[in-house]
Amino acid sequence: MTAPAGTIRIYNTLSRRKETFETIDPGKVRMYVCGVTPYDSAHIGHGMSMTVFDIIRRYLEHRGYEVRHIQNFTDIDDKIIARANREGIDPNDLTEDLISQWHAETAELGALPASYYPRATQEVGPIIEMIEGLIEKGHAYPVGGDVYFRVRSFPTYGKLSHRDLDDLFSGARIEVDERKDDPLDFALWKAVKPGEPSWESPWGPGRPGWHIECSAMSSTYLDGMVDIHGGGSDLIFPHHENEIAQSEAFLGHEPFARYWVHNGLVKVGADKMSKSLGNFVRLRDILDRGLGPAFRLMVLQGHYRAPLTYSEEGLIAAERGLERLRLAADPDAPVSDADGIEGGGEDLAALAAESDRRFHEAMDDDFNSPIAVSVLFDLARAINRERAGGADGATVEPARAKLAELAGVLGVDVTPAESDAGNAGPFIDLLLKVRGELRAAKQWALSDLIRDELAALGVSVEDTAGGATWSAKRG
């Protein structure tokens, strides 16, 4: 269902302001998200980025846009070669394996697959063409089998990261390669070294440098102009800065990307989480515990541009919150008719309408998901309050349906927890039936024993007015 039209505003790293979102083609969004260099398994930082851009994409689609979402794999790089050599395997086998893991993890995280996933190694032709074009235009020069981009030839270099060339130079932490015209020039093509994979090129055998593959791929798959170009904020410099320089110098027009969107980084404790710091948490570990949906909610509860402080408690807190949303969104949730608890007698249809308005207002404003999520919780509380007061399903339905709908827009799965009990279901039902008899006979010790033992097995039992219900713990 498409919501009523509203103006979407997006923060653009380039202008450092929120801008009204207007696409190149009406109703269509060209989105390029920097994927990964697959040299190791994904961590939750990748998970955050995947989730953030999945939410942005879902919301734009919800708003009626058709989104062409391209996500690349830079499957040739120093680290890939280093690891493959260390393990004595073919770099291709390594990247194939990691890429298939990536796809599996994307799916388990509940992120929609991209429209297409180009790979650097399969785009060498376009990459070489682009490099040749840059040389012709004087923006690049070959040196002994390498090719470098001449940073000083691109007057607006630094506009994305808001840096001055001379400030960068004064940073003086760049290895000085005497063969380069300028220390800041970066490699477009790297001459082959012993033991490395290589491709033929006008400059001899070699391989693409780091940034050029994204320029070539975004150009190839999004017609040389993109609406949204995204990635983690650690990519702003040098990766995206270099990408702009290459693409705009080559294409001869700017901007090559209209909205630069960057997500905040995951922190563990006070520090940024990264492979090099060794403080990373593998995405796989969270997924295997069945906490993928909780992770998504945790990401949503913070703003996408702000750093996300990750902790085990934070993840568990999100899981608890998610359970509350699930209960509220469950059409078969038990209704209490206990005395002493009164419903608010609210107009839930009106609440649903108001919630819808607030939700879209928040998401339209640079994807303010924390507020959108708070709307979900407000709905949940109202629903539970009415149910606690004995309201029937029909009374609660407008709010319940709205909650499920809005959660769905964010990709939050609030469908009732599926039983992980496998074939044990009927036996558990049987046990609870027996326990019911015991309770009727006030055999509390035995009935409590059954409940405790089931709990130890990961099955929680709850007694409600309508009888006992059970649910298996996820994971």
Partner RNA sequence: GGCGCCAUAGCCAAGCGGUAAGGCACGGGUCUGCAAAACCCUGAUCGGCGGUUCGAAUCCGCCUGGCGCCUCCA
Please list every residue from 293 through 352 that binds RNA, using CB under 7 A: 298, 301-303, 306-309, 311, 313-314, 316-318, 320-321, 323-324, 327-328, 336, 338-341
The distance of closest approach from Cβ of residue 308 to RNA in the complex, given in angstroms and rounded to an integer, is 6
23-42 residues in contact with RNA (CB under 7 A) are: 34-37
The closest alpha carbon to 78, from 197, 169, 184, 162, belongs to 197
The distance of closest approach from Cβ of residue 425 to RNA in the complex, given in angstroms and rounded to an integer, is 19
Judged by CB, which is closer to RNA: 1, or 456? 456
379-418 residues in contact with RNA (CB under 7 A) are: 380-381, 384-385, 387-388
Judged by CB, which is closer to RNA: 132, or 420? 420
Give the integer Cα–Cα distance in Å for 68 and 61: 10
Binding-site member from 276, 394, 422, 426 for RNA (CB under 7 A): 276
The distance of closest approach from Cβ of residue 91 to RNA in the complex, given in angstroms and rounded to an integer, is 15
The distance of closest approach from Cβ of residue 275 to RNA in the complex, given in angstroms and rounded to an integer, is 6
Binding-site member from 174, 251, 401, 424 for RNA (CB under 7 A): 174
Judged by CB, which is closer to RNA: 66, or 164? 164
- Listed ranges 115-123, 146-154, 267-275, 400-408: which one lies at the site for RNA (CB under 7 A): 267-275
Judged by CB, which is closer to RNA: 132, or 324? 324
Residues in a beta bridge with 342: none
The closest alpha carbon to 383, from 412, 359, 406, 349, belongs to 349
Binding-site member from 5, 173, 252, 456 for RNA (CB under 7 A): 173
Give the integer Cα–Cα distance in Å for 136 and 129: 11
The distance of closest approach from Cβ of residue 286 to RNA in the complex, given in angstroms and rounded to an integer, is 14
Judged by CB, which is closer to RNA: 66, or 429? 429
Give the integer Cα–Cα distance in Å for 23 and 36: 26
Identify the three-state secondary structure at position 49: helix
Binding mask 188-227 for RNA (x = CB under 7 A): ----------------------x-----------------
222-241 residues in contact with RNA (CB under 7 A) are: 231-239
> Do residues 19 and 12 touch, judged by C-beta distance below 8 A?
yes
43-82 residues in contact with RNA (CB under 7 A) are: 45-46, 48-49, 74, 79
**Which position has the token pair 């949503």?**
300
Which residues fall within 8 angstroms of residue 113, CB to CB, at 6 or more apart?
Answer: 103, 106, 107
Size of the site for RNA (CB under 7 A): 89
DSSP string, 358-387: HHHHHHHBT--HHHHHHHHHHHHHHHHHHH
Structure tokens at 208: 């693409």
Give the integer Cα–Cα distance in Å for 42 and 40: 7
349-378 residues in contact with RNA (CB under 7 A) are: 368, 370-371, 373-374, 377-378
The distance of closest approach from Cβ of residue 234 to RNA in the complex, given in angstroms and rounded to an integer, is 5
Alpha-carbon dihedral sign for residues 115, 236, 362, 26: negative
Judged by CB, which is closer to RNA: 106, or 301? 301
By the rule CB under 7 A, 170 interacts with RNA: yes
Judged by CB, which is closer to RNA: 252, or 339? 339
Judged by CB, which is closer to RNA: 2, or 170? 170
86-145 residues in contact with RNA (CB under 7 A) are: none
**Which position has the token pair 């006070």?**
270
Verify cis geometry, omega within 30 degrees of 0, for the bond prior to 255: yes
* CA distance readout (Å), 130 to 136, 148, 187, 208, 337: 10, 12, 13, 11, 71
Give the integer Cα–Cα distance in Å for 407 and 366: 18
Judged by CB, which is closer to RNA: 115, or 309? 309
Alpha helices in 30-90 (DSSP H): 44-62, 78-87
Judged by CB, which is closer to RNA: 58, or 387? 387
Give the integer Cα–Cα distance in Å for 226 and 211: 16
